[in-house]
Amino acid sequence: MKVGVIGVPGAWSTERLAGALRRMGAAADVLDARALTLRLPGDRLYHRGGPLAGYDGVVVKKIGDTADGWVVPERINLLRHLVASGVPVLSEPERLATAVDRYRMTVELAHARLPVPETVVTEDADEAVAAVERFEVAVLKPIYTSKGRGMQRLTPGSDLRGALERHRHEGLGPFYLQRFIAHPGRDLGVAVLDGRYLGAYWRIAGSSEWMTTIRAGGRYAPADPPREIVDLAERAARHFGLVFTGVDLMETPDGGFVVLEVSAFGGFRGLHEASGIDAAPRFAEVALERFARRDT
């Protein structure tokens, strides 16, 4: 079986997934999303100038830096074209498109009656100011981001409108604002494969940091969440239908949890570093089984 892995050549997670596929007997090529080309009215894609042909399936590990904004819909469209040419893609482009857009993702979580932080999305600066004043402390998030880049914690004050205008000027999307949760300095990542719990880990915030991301100085730690939190993460993941995902949850002051995000491109590193669980071979096994079923 010949399988493509769309990801970042040389990146740890991408290469780990490609290696797992090869150990299971597949001929696996790493395909750089930045090197994909669409030539219309033809029905195929090209990679580094050559036709992308002969693949039994393609697994998407990463489409590039989602914080770059415009690359997200452009590369999702490339994946749609790949599917239209007859190549199965995991996870399906429509499911990726829903999860990678923070606005759409949060709307879907709310429609599924899953607990989310109080959220306001608006293009109206006056409405955004009113939301921050009502929340008292708010987090302004870009629609497309990665590892917390572009996020700001806002409070009512003299520079509030300036922060909002800078966000608008930088082209980071509408004002997506969530009430800041007074968390205990950590959030929970839950890995879900094929709709079932695989493992979990804490992200512990660095000293004096409000964000828990590794980029902001955070670290991973083992986690063993109770069954009700696992059930919550599985419900969130299944709603999006992604083959592999990470569900991020935050503890609330009353002892509950809210769902912050269902990741379109769940990472391997947190689970591996915190719990020693290697998601790559398990993901590879599920992908190969699905591609094989398509051929029977």
Q: How confident is the model at residue 295 (pLDDT cuts 50, 70, 90)?
A: low
- Kindly tell me if the per-residue pLDDT of 191 is higher than 50: yes
Overall residue count recorded for the chain in this entry: 296
Domain span at residue 245?
183-265
Strand ordering across the sheet containing 57-60: 27-32, 2-7, 57-60, 89-90
> CA–CA separation, 183 vs 187, rounded Å?
8
Does residue 277 form part of some domain?
Answer: no
CB contact set of 273 (below 8 Å; sequence gap of 6+):
201, 220
Q: Is 90 left (phi over 0), alpha (psi -120 to 50) or beta?
A: beta
The token duo for 290 is: 């699905």
Does residue 111 form part of some domain?
Answer: no
Does residue 162 form part of some domain?
Answer: yes
- Kindly tell me if the per-residue pLDDT of 62 is higher than 70: yes
Does residue 112 form part of some domain?
Answer: no
Does residue 226 form part of some domain?
Answer: yes
Same domain, residue pair 211 and 132: no
Does residue 52 form part of some domain?
Answer: yes
pLDDT score recorded for residue 154: 96
- Kindly tell me if the per-residue pLDDT of 296 is higher than 60: no
Same domain, residue pair 235 and 208: yes
CB contact set of 59 (below 8 Å; sequence gap of 6+):
3, 4, 5, 6, 17, 21, 89, 90, 283, 284, 287
Q: Is 42 left (phi over 0), alpha (psi -120 to 50) or beta?
A: beta
Does residue 98 form part of some domain?
Answer: no
- Kindly tell me if the per-residue pLDDT of 129 is higher than 60: yes
> CA–CA separation, 250 vs 35, rounded Å?
37
Strand partners, 148: none
Does residue 103 form part of some domain?
Answer: no
**For position 76, which CATH number holds?**
3.40.50.20
Same domain, residue pair 78 and 54: yes
pLDDT per residue as tens digits for the range 87-110 = 999 999 999 999 999 999 999 999
Same domain, residue pair 68 and 14: yes
- Kindly tell me if the per-residue pLDDT of 263 is higher than 90: yes
Total domain count, the chain: 3
pLDDT per residue as tens digits for the range 222-243 = 999 999 999 999 999 999 999 9
- Cβ count within 10 A of residue 228: 9
Question: Which contiguous run of DSSP H or E holds residue 169?
Answer: helix 160-169
pLDDT per residue as tens digits for the range 138-190 = 999 998 877 667 889 999 987 999 999 999 988 888 999 999 998 888 999 99
